[in-house]
Amino acid sequence: MICTMSSSTLFFRTACKGIRNNPSTVSSRWLSSAHLPHTIDVTSSSSKRPLSSTTTSSTTPSSPPFHKILIANRGEITLRIIRTARHLGIQTVAIYSTADAKSLHVQMADEAVCIGPPASSASYLDIDKVCEAIVLTGAEGVHPGYGFLSENSGFAERVEQLTVGNNDNSDAKVKFIGPSTHAIQSLGDKIQSKLIAQAAGVSIIPGYNGVVTSPEHALEIAHDIGYPVMIKASSGGGGKGMRICYNDDQVKEGYRLGSAEAKSFFGDDRLLVEKYVEDPHHIEIQVLSGQNPHSGELDILCFVERECSIQRRNQKVVEESPSPHLLLETRREMIREVKALVREVNYESAGTVEFLVDKHQNFYFLEMNTRLQVEHPVTEMISGDGYASGNYVDLVRGMLEVAAGRGIPQEYLDMVDHSNAEEEAKDGGEGANVRYTGHAIEARVYAEDPLRGFLPSTGPLVKYVEPPSVLTVESSDDTVDNSCYIRVDTGVVPGSIISPHYDPILSKIISYSPTSRNNAIESLGSALDQYLLRSVQHNVPFVRDVLRNDDFVRGYTPTGFIDEHYPDGFSGGQLSDKEREELAVIARELFRIREIVMDSPPLASSDEDLSDVMDEKEATEEVVVCIGGMFGDAYLVETKFGSGGRESAASVTKLSKDAGGEMWEKAQTVDLSSIEYEPTSDFAHVVISGQSRSLQLHGECETGIMKVTMYGADLDVLVMSRAEYELACLMKEPIPKDFGNVVMSPMPGTLISFAVKEGDVVEMGQELCVVEAMKMQNVIRSHKGGAIVGKLHGEVGASLRADEILIEFAAE
């Protein structure tokens, strides 16, 4: 049902406008191939539905760089690689564990090989089994994706020792689609890479250039360097095995948990300790380099920087490009140092050099990731003439071409920005980088519960709906094209099972604006409002809240952003007073449309039928909308109507309670000009107070409460007549059940250890036990001080259910 309200009357006419679905031609570029079908039968392991062969970027080579490749990964990154491979005419082989047998990446590949049980160590990290799959399928190249074996030099070396048969019955060596074994080994090891960077003249962070051998050794280094320090895994990345420490106790804990995570994720428990730079920005430079097949020279493309400072537990959440923090002069100097490092090791392939940049624009080398990054889409979407033009860089294609010995595609080399030719001449060309257009922002969507400390969430994904591929941001300037483009890189569909065995990332939502950062922010927020995931907890409400933060909007995004703005964790999205008033008016219309469709008795203040009231010359309808359930904030919504229909403007008055009883605050006028809603739909799209809104609706429970999500804020909404509300006020608010005397497992997982014993007196925040889920060591801490441990439940090594009791405190 689509309703549009004029300034005086309500009648059925057109859809809402503003930020809206736009039938643009973007689907003829990336998204027709990027948006995977939602109707795949994921219960059938034989189901194969081909991805579109539509162009992903730029031009298609006359012949593919490989005939067949194996992708040594899973989930969304595997599908991302399949997309480009299919565009280039390359056959693909997927590998999978028994837990992933019905996963989407298995269905989308041309071939799939099961390599073992769910545990990563027995499947995706088992080099022997992966190599067997390579030989079995005759894959000529292996793309490692990110994570797992992507930065394992031993795996790269093993791959390039393999041979497979060609069509002419000759044998050919398998290619590792990534940098050389030497580059992975030297740059992938954080200790050695710092020494190489230092030798190349790259600025580095003060620290201990060696392996930490024990907790005591870590303490000694920390005392020499001075707090705060960073303890992190020597191998790998992604925030795993990484801890910031401000005192001795945190160093001891960081060493223990960091080494365990490093061993679990990368098979290497070595750690290093370095000085932690406070309030920095995490900024990285994307590189694509390869030997030119004609000149023999090393071509190096450096892209405009990515800002990746919005991090939780050192794991990136929001990334964007370009950075709102970095100055042009700093960018040029960083690129010069990046190129020096690339030449130092003769690096060929895609890679990323990460830096910390302080408020004075001083920058320090962190590490070089010798693989494709999770956040690579933001670089792709702004490169060249930008995503909207179709003339941009596909980094996966670049990796494939370089690995095949064909060098970087010429059209990518032609994207180098020579607008500052005079400055480049002074710098020997070191300041040059790929030109860019517009702004892109990416939000990572994780299966985790932000209201429970971001602990992992598992289980079946019952509903899954992606946002529109094009959104239009409202603007007073009609001469500017305010279309924004949405890309979704995902590995799930309705029915997918989110497993506790792997990284909790579900997807990445990327917005691209050809014109401004503000438009990219606004369109990403709108896309998240229209991104539906049901039955698995996720971090979308948290990311939505970040995008609405004033500091984020103005570009103040140091790595301490989340700690600064969410010191006590995330307690849910919050609406302003004005937005709550708007929600009250929207809720009234949603319930009214339900009444009309379901032929229910209206909630008008009189006993007359709504149709009879409509015939009156002028009348007023009053209802009370409670936001937060029956005992939440109450709003009196008054709407006038007459023979011409319902007026779009409604009067909203909030009920206020004080010592003298109840009174109604001053009325506010809210204009709802358009609403698009079907009672069976999961969404409502409205134009209210001149702005577009998209709300998610979660059905109606038996008590008549509708669950609504607006701007990521989940709220219970109840609409009733004024008389019903006055009766409801006589009811007492129920007291929730007290679980304060027990500690429960916040997620399914494995009990790793207890840190207390029965009879111990614990302090607030003290470690009680460790639960492992999705390979992360999650410390469960005491929520109360002075309590005595009465009983420990469960055994170390046992599997746990969510909310299973772990510790019971003695009665006070």
From residue 304, alpha-carbon distances to 183, 319, 442, 588, 608 in Å are 23, 13, 15, 48, 65
Cα-based torsion angle of the residue sequence 359, 361, 365, 366 in order, rounded to the nearest 10 degrees: 30
**Bridge partners, residue 358, by sequence:** none
Q: Report how many helices (DSSP H) and strands (DSSP E) the chain contains, helices first.
A: 21, 45
State the Cα–Cα distance between residues 319 and 337, nearest whole angstrom: 22
467 within 8 A of 527, measured Cβ to Cβ: yes
Both tokens of residue 166?
Answer: 């060609």
Other C-beta atoms lying within 10 Å of the C-beta of residue 759: 9
Element housing 399 (H / E): helix 395-403
Cα-based torsion angle of the residue sequence 469, 473, 479, 480 in order, rounded to the nearest 10 degrees: -70
715 within 8 A of 628, measured Cβ to Cβ: yes
Other C-beta atoms lying within 10 Å of the C-beta of residue 694: 26
Q: State the number of CA atoms in the 13 A half-sphere of 751 facing the CB.
A: 23
Q: State the number of CA atoms in the 13 A half-sphere of 370 facing the CB.
A: 30
66 within 8 A of 95, measured Cβ to Cβ: no
The packing angle between helices 190-199 and 328-344, to 10°, is 110
- Gyration radius (Cα) of the chain, Å: 29
State the Cα–Cα distance between residues 288 and 403, nearest whole angstrom: 12
Residue 506's φ and ψ, nearest 5 degrees, are -100, -40
Dihedral over Cα of 453, 454, 457, 462: its sign = positive
Give the SS3 label for residue 715. Answer: strand
509 within 8 A of 523, measured Cβ to Cβ: no
State the Cα–Cα distance between residues 622 and 614, nearest whole angstrom: 14
- 192-201 residues labelled b (16+ CB within 10 A) or e (exposed): ebbebbeebe
State the Cα–Cα distance between residues 179 and 462, nearest whole angstrom: 40
DSSP assignment of 316-354 equals EEEEEES-SS--HHHHHHHHHHHHHHHHHTT--EEEEEE
State the Cα–Cα distance between residues 600 and 744, nearest whole angstrom: 43
494 within 8 A of 459, measured Cβ to Cβ: no
Q: Among 672, 617, 634, 623, which residue's Cα sits nearest to residue 650?
A: 672
Instruction: Return all residues near 257 (Cβ < 8 A) that are at least 6 apart.
Output: 243, 770, 777, 779
Q: State the number of CA atoms in the 13 A half-sphere of 504 facing the CB.
A: 28
Q: Among 523, 169, 540, 200, which residue's Cα sits nearest to residue 381?
A: 523
Type of residue at 324? P
Both tokens of residue 692?
Answer: 């577009």
So which residues are the catalytic ones? Answer: 367
229 within 8 A of 275, measured Cβ to Cβ: yes
Strand bridging mode 749-754 / 742-744: unpaired
State the Cα–Cα distance between residues 683 and 695, nearest whole angstrom: 6
Q: State the number of CA atoms in the 13 A half-sphere of 642 facing the CB.
A: 4
